[in-house]
Amino acid sequence: MAEGQHSLVVGDDDLVLARRAGLGDRQAFTVIAHRHGPAMFRLARRILLDDGDAEEAVQDALVAAWQSLDEFRGDAALRTWLFRLTLNKAHNLRRRRRPEPREPEDDRPATVHDDPARGAIENALVAALDDALATLPDNQRIAWILREVDELSYEEIAGIMHTSRGVVRGRLYRARQSLAERLASWR
């Protein structure tokens, strides 16, 4: 290895990877994509309710990230920045296509359990949650997913959604209330 170079370590923190990718290091960007791509896909999937559209939005977000990583200052976490790009690309895709709202595809793998009845109940609960989430307004669904699935802080969510912490709290409250009502039969 030449003097001044250092090998890419999958354990490198996001800021180091972002800096290296911003300088054109494709291997660093690959680590970023593998590290954050699945969460970006989950977010896009929940917004767009379609796997193909979600893949397209994530691909567009990753292209945008590659093109602008040299401008990433690190004021927010890389993950937050990538989620914001994903959210923007998902909204852009939806605006371009203007599809009718549709239910999420039921392509979840069956849960394997020793007790098939329990597995069926859990799968039905997940399907009911997906159906209930699909009825929420976009900003409530996005806030709920970022908090409950991706476990982001209120501040991170506010940064992604370009709003305040208080607005995020309100959206989460309303989302949780709506979900509790829709899922009351599962209690």
CA 8 vs CA 79, 140, 171: distances in Å: 19, 38, 40
| Average pLDDT across the chain, whole number | 82
Q: Is the pTM of this model over 0.95?
A: no
Region of 109 (left: φ > 0; alpha: ψ -120 to 50; beta: rest) is beta
Range of weakest confidence among 36-40, 106-110, 149-153, 179-183? 106-110
Contact 129, 179 (CB under 8 A): yes
pLDDT of residue 53: 93
Q: What domains can be seen in the chain, in order of their start residue?
A: 9-100 (1.10.1740.10), 112-187 (1.10.10.10)
- 49-69 average pLDDT score: 93
Cα 72 to Cα 81: distance, rounded to the nearest angstrom:
9
Q: How many CB atoms lie within 10 A of CB 116?
A: 11
Q: Is 35 exposed, middle or buried (0-12, 13-18, 19+ CB in 10 A)?
A: middle
Q: Give the tens place of pLDDT for each residue, 106-146.
A: 554 544 445 666 666 666 767 778 788 888 898 998 899 88
